[in-house]
Structure 1
Amino acid sequence: MALCRAISAALVLAAAVLLGSLCPVALSEDERLENLRFVQHASDAPLVSHFNYIIVGGGTSGCPLAATLSEHSRVLLLERGGLPHANMSSQEHFTDALADTSPASPAQRFVSEDGVVNARARVLGGGSCLNAGFYTRASNEYVRTAGWDPRLVNSSYRWVERALVFRPGVPPWQAALRDALLEAGVTPDNGFTFDHVTGTKIGGTIFDGNGQRHTAADFLRHARPRGLTVVLYATVSRILFRSQEGVPYPVAYGVVFGDPLGVQHRVYLRDGAKNEVILAAGTLGSPQLLMLSGVGPQAHLEAHGIQALVDQPMVGQGVADNPMNSVFIPSPVPVGLSLVQVVGITKSGSFIEGVSGSEFGIPVSDSARRLAASFGLFSPQTGQLGTLPPKQRTPEALQRAADAMRRLDRRAFRGGFILEKILGPVSTGHVELRTTDPRANPAVLFNYFQEAEDLERCVRGIQTIERVIASRAFSNFTYSNASVESIFSDSANFPVNLLPRHANDSRSPEQYCRETVMTIWHYHGGCHVGAVVDDDYRVFGVRGLRVIDSSTFRYSPGTNPQATVMMLGRYMGVKIQAERWRK
């Protein structure tokens, strides 16, 4: 118990930093304490409690949803991770959390059945604590297709943007990328805008002018303190269902969560038809928890010894991940650090972005060591991932690649990445249970490039990157004696982009896409609207349960989904409140 008290004290101190220092206006000590009242460690939570709304997942959608619903209701927000720590807060340490492979890492690593290394957030604020910070809205067409109210969508985006979105500076490398995209035909020049429009644009960022990260956890500062309880390190194991007279479906009435000591806590909904359990656990977590609770494909559940309350074959289906392919561009001159600020939205269905300042403040030897540990960082050393098609990316093989990186001259890492991500995608896979342990990752298959349309979009994206590299606008950041082909494949002069070798020492663009594929962490699906949930995100076949997160998306919105996931949390919070008042 002494250990638990020490952890709780540290948690309060960390929450004071989180909820105080991120505020644009300095808070008094009393105001900080007022904010801290709703944050607690799972070990300090009561064994039994009651709320109007139980939200599972304190991430990119869960935080704005909880803050909104707390205005007039008692809300419990359950997060399986802890608070963002200091080295996640700046651009210079962007890769640190992703490189952390400890059991308590805020980025829980998983490897898809395709062989591609990936990560899922395990921290208050979710993916907004781990990503490259780029902020852009979904297109108007996406909003229409989703059936959302455009006025409420716009007001919800503005609510998000007032809290944590900034206009980035455009350093020379990013400015050259912008001009090169325009020269390569990705037009028009749309300047700075949050809108998703064809052409080249500068988007928003959640990093402020001092390079400090702001996250979805910041929304909790707008919560009504007496209306919200946030419990950290709480792993939900199942949703509780019961039968109710006059209702032909199982009714959700609570959840069970475990704390780090293994103690099981029960949380119940207060009496009343308006109260609900809401899953915001993400693309992997929400379908996983539905299946652990008996809602999913009957044969699959029974194979794991789970009684199927509702045979719902579409739970976990239609999961997709936007494939990312990139090339590292060595620079003859030093390049400053920049994360994604410029994006080219092509007419052919691919998005072109870039990051520069390759070492992110990490010595090459240390960076290589971290790559070997995590084999999935987005850093120049991951150019070595191109030497290994996905199924061959074992820890041992990547250790050898990291060792090769460590032996290179530091100048080999001077430059930046240009990457392409495809629209959609059309190819989909599934999430399935691997075990009944809620802390473990489920099995995930994305089926990258299964559909020819996705492969064609990738090829066109790579061709656009080639035109960018060859452009006059980008010439200051490329070697004058380097052809585009040599940057992709000349291992003697450009060793960062080593690629798989074949008998004829050549390969097609399609082969390049398949063999160098990585993730950009924009996976989605598994609880699609119309298949698992209705237009108001209520789960079919049960009552009192919704899913509000990226698992409901059929396609990834915009060039980065975080803006739309945060917007959805606010949007549905407002709608649920209005519905509650009508009832």
Structure 2
Amino acid sequence: MAAVNGAEFDYIIVGAGSAGSVLAERLSASGRHRVLVLEAGGSDRRFYVQLPLGYGKLFYDPAVNWLYQTEPDPGLAGNRDHWPRGKLLGGSSSINAMVWIRGHQSDYDDWEEIAGPHWGWAKARDAYRAIEDNEAGADTFRGKGGPLFISANQRDLHPLCETFIRSTEAAGLKRNADFNGADQEGVGTYQMTIRNARRNSAARAFLRPAMKRANVTVMTHAQVTRVIFEGRRAIGIEYRKNGVLGRVRAASEVILSGGAINSPQLLMLSGIGPAAHLKDHGIAVTSDSPQVGRNLNDHQGLNYTWRMKVPTYNDVLRPWWGKVAVGLRYFLTGSGPLAKSINHGGGFFRTSPDLPRPNMQLYFQAFSTLVPRVGERPLLTPDPFSGLSIGLSNCRPTSRGEITLNSADPFAHPKIVANAYSTDHDVQEMLAAVKFLRRIADQDPIRPLIAEELRPGPEVRSDADLIADIRARSGTVYHPSCSARMGHDAATSVVGPDLKVHGVDGLRVCDASVFPTLIGGNTNAPSILVGWLGAERILADAH
């Protein structure tokens, strides 16, 4: 590694996550630009990171996870929600469930209306086709030959996945072979960022190839503490590694890619945010930007769980002999449950036929985890009975949260106020959605295979009781976004359509925090897209 402290680079990228990894690859490709990537966490070369089903072991692991917690949330019955975010190369793409969903086409129409044509559907579709190396092959929507391999996820599915799909068809949804194709609505299997039985994170697909170039430097275990300004221009960053403070200069730009929590926190630590809030923490104001940390949006979800009369993954992943069997299968053949995400299938539906697009997402798991295990999301140690779960999450919640500082200490976690279910709209659509879960379970061919409903249980029937259950058992589905959103107007956004931070020079934000609105679906694909399209904007401005 080249000496970093006191050095100068053309571009400094703060964060090696989904967007940051893409930026590193694209900004360095010509060989003209010196690129430095600073990552607060460490390497992604860890067994449970590479093992697809191993992400349950990473859920509470401080070695790879920021382990954020929200404030007690009235919308979640006063509970504090656990927000895991990746703290390693690849960021959250190295600890997520690997589902590849772009979102509804109209989501990008929304982006275009707010941030212009560079962020519209036509541009997004072409970018996704360039990004993808889709196992299913190329068509009008899918790409082939790009840097990111996407598994079609058609082999080695649990038999109950087809049972779920047919039962959901019986409940009124159509079968959909490609949620990223012409129409998102329907039920089917999820495409995955898995390649050759290993997690295919943004680090593996983008950052690792970039790290082979002489003009790319990656520093791990280096937490950026603030952006350095001369006047109103960002000229570099300050970081701490192994307890030692260092500084690096940026000849062109500093780009924050820390994600929806870290990027607004770092902006505020650097003097960009609501002036009164910064002054309360003794931080000198570089730019009064009231929208920093505001507009936080996230999908909320919960599972309904049934005891089954037929075997599920619980029966092979729970006993020691089952663990040995699936481990041998994985190492010998690269197949079996360890080689996949637990979410084999799912889909998108509308809670009312009057809605113009799906507003709910389904997740099917031939698996259940009602019996908790301390310190682990027990994907590898499920319940001691045959269990099955069907989950859902809202696509476009209207509730908004906020990220603020707890302290001027850059190593203190920020204050996260999720405000889940703070609007009646969000409560009522989730109420309609959970009723649809029971409708699915009441269809053939799944109905005769169910022994009993375990959560919330058949005694929970009234709307009031169902809502109470929603609040008590819901939680994030790990898609925080929009906390430094882009737009034309500094009064309602943090960055412009070019991702430049309003009110200062030489500083951009490029990650999920800039989403103008929350995408209807999993957010890793659009985070990678933001890195891809963001790099285009940055390179267009390069001298």
Q: What are the within-5 Å matches in structure 2 for residues 68-467 of structure 1?
A: 68-72=26-30, 73-84=33-44, 85-100=46-61, 102=62, 105-113=63-71, 114=73, 115-147=80-112, 148-162=119-133, 163-169=148-154, 170-186=157-173, 188-195=174-181, 197-208=184-195, 210=197, 212-218=198-204, 219-223=206-210, 225-243=213-231, 250-259=232-241, 261-270=242-251, 275-336=252-313, 337=337, 339-348=342-351, 349-358=359-368, 368=372, 371-373=373-375, 377=377, 379=379, 410-411=384-385, 414-467=386-439
Residues in 2 aligned to 1:456 and 1:554: alpha-carbon distance in whole angstroms: 24
SS in 2 for 1:568: helix
**Offset at residue 557 of structure 1 (A):** 1.5
SS in 2 for 1:107: coil
**Offset at residue 164 of structure 1 (A):** 2.7
Structure 2 gap ranges (5+): 74-79, 113-118, 134-147, 314-336, 352-358, 488-492
SS in 1 for 2:84: strand
1:113-154 per-position Cα deviation (integer Å, ceiling 9, x unaligned) = 121122121011011111111101122211122121544422
| Contact 1:206-1:213 within 8 A present in 2 as well | yes
Residues in 2 aligned to 1:437 and 1:571: alpha-carbon distance in whole angstroms: 33
**Offset at residue 455 of structure 1 (A):** 0.8
Provide closer, same or farther for how the CA distance between residues 519 and 54 of structure 1 changes in structure 2, counting only shifts above 3 A. Answer: same
| Contact 1:287-1:315 within 8 A present in 2 as well | yes
1:395 corresponds to: none
Residue of structure 2 aligned with 1:558, choices 501, 504, 520:
520
Letter in structure 2 aligned against 1:74: R
| Contact 1:173-1:477 within 8 A present in 2 as well | no
Residues in 2 aligned to 1:159 and 1:416: alpha-carbon distance in whole angstroms: 37
Provide closer, same or farther for how the CA distance between residues 93 and 221 of structure 1 changes in structure 2, counting only shifts above 3 A. Answer: closer
1:453-486 per-position Cα deviation (integer Å, ceiling 9, x unaligned) = 111111121011111111112236412xx3x5x6
Residues in 1 aligned to 2:258 and 2:36: alpha-carbon distance in whole angstroms: 14
**Offset at residue 535 of structure 1 (A):** 1.1
**Offset at residue 521 of structure 1 (A):** 0.5
Residue of structure 1 aligned with 2:482, choices 525, 534, 546:
525
**Offset at residue 438 of structure 1 (A):** 1.9
1:277-333 per-position Cα deviation (integer Å, ceiling 9, x unaligned) = 111100110000000000011111111110111111111111122111112222222
In angstroms, what is the RMSD of aligned CA positions? 2.4
Structure 1 gap ranges (5+): 1-39, 244-249, 383-404, 492-498
2:10 corresponds to: 52
Residues in 2 aligned to 1:70 and 1:380: alpha-carbon distance in whole angstroms: 39
Residues in 2 aligned to 1:533 and 1:339: alpha-carbon distance in whole angstroms: 36
Provide closer, same or farther for how the CA distance between residues 506 and 54 of structure 1 changes in structure 2, counting only shifts above 3 A. Answer: closer
Provide closer, same or farther for how the CA distance between residues 547 and 524 of structure 1 changes in structure 2, counting only shifts above 3 A. Answer: same
| Contact 1:164-1:215 within 8 A present in 2 as well | no
Letter in structure 2 aligned against 1:75: V
**Offset at residue 45 of structure 1 (A):** 4.3
Task: State the percentage of identical aligned residues.
Answer: 27
**Offset at residue 381 of structure 1 (A):** 8.8
Provide closer, same or farther for how the CA distance between residues 487 and 124 of structure 1 changes in structure 2, counting only shifts above 3 A. Answer: closer
Letter in structure 2 aligned against 1:132: A
Provide closer, same or farther for how the CA distance between residues 352 and 149 of structure 1 changes in structure 2, counting only shifts above 3 A. Answer: closer
TM-score normalised to structure 2 length: 0.81
SS in 2 for 1:108: coil
Residue of structure 2 aligned with 1:570, choices 513, 532, 539:
532
2:21 corresponds to: 63
1:399-428 per-position Cα deviation (integer Å, ceiling 9, x unaligned) = xxxxxx8xxxx22xx223211100211100
Moved more, 458-467 or 139-148: 139-148
Letter in structure 2 aligned against 1:510: I
Provide closer, same or farther for how the CA distance between residues 47 and 579 of structure 1 changes in structure 2, counting only shifts above 3 A. Answer: closer
Residues in 1 aligned to 2:109 and 2:124: alpha-carbon distance in whole angstroms: 11
| Contact 2:42-2:89 within 8 A present in 1 as well | yes
**Offset at residue 373 of structure 1 (A):** 3.2
Residues in 2 aligned to 1:341 and 1:62: alpha-carbon distance in whole angstroms: 28
2:446 corresponds to: 474
Residues in 1 aligned to 2:463 and 2:494: alpha-carbon distance in whole angstroms: 45
Letter in structure 2 aligned against 1:183: A
| Contact 1:133-1:339 within 8 A present in 2 as well | no
| Contact 1:415-1:477 within 8 A present in 2 as well | no
| Contact 1:319-1:446 within 8 A present in 2 as well | yes
Provide closer, same or farther for how the CA distance between residues 191 and 476 of structure 1 changes in structure 2, counting only shifts above 3 A. Answer: farther
Provide closer, same or farther for how the CA distance between residues 339 and 448 of structure 1 changes in structure 2, counting only shifts above 3 A. Answer: same
Residues in 1 aligned to 2:289 and 2:505: alpha-carbon distance in whole angstroms: 14
| Contact 1:45-1:231 within 8 A present in 2 as well | no
Moved more, 345-354 or 142-151: 142-151
| Contact 2:512-2:530 within 8 A present in 1 as well | no
TM-score normalised to structure 1 length: 0.76
Moved more, 308-317 or 433-442: 433-442
| Contact 1:182-1:189 within 8 A present in 2 as well | yes
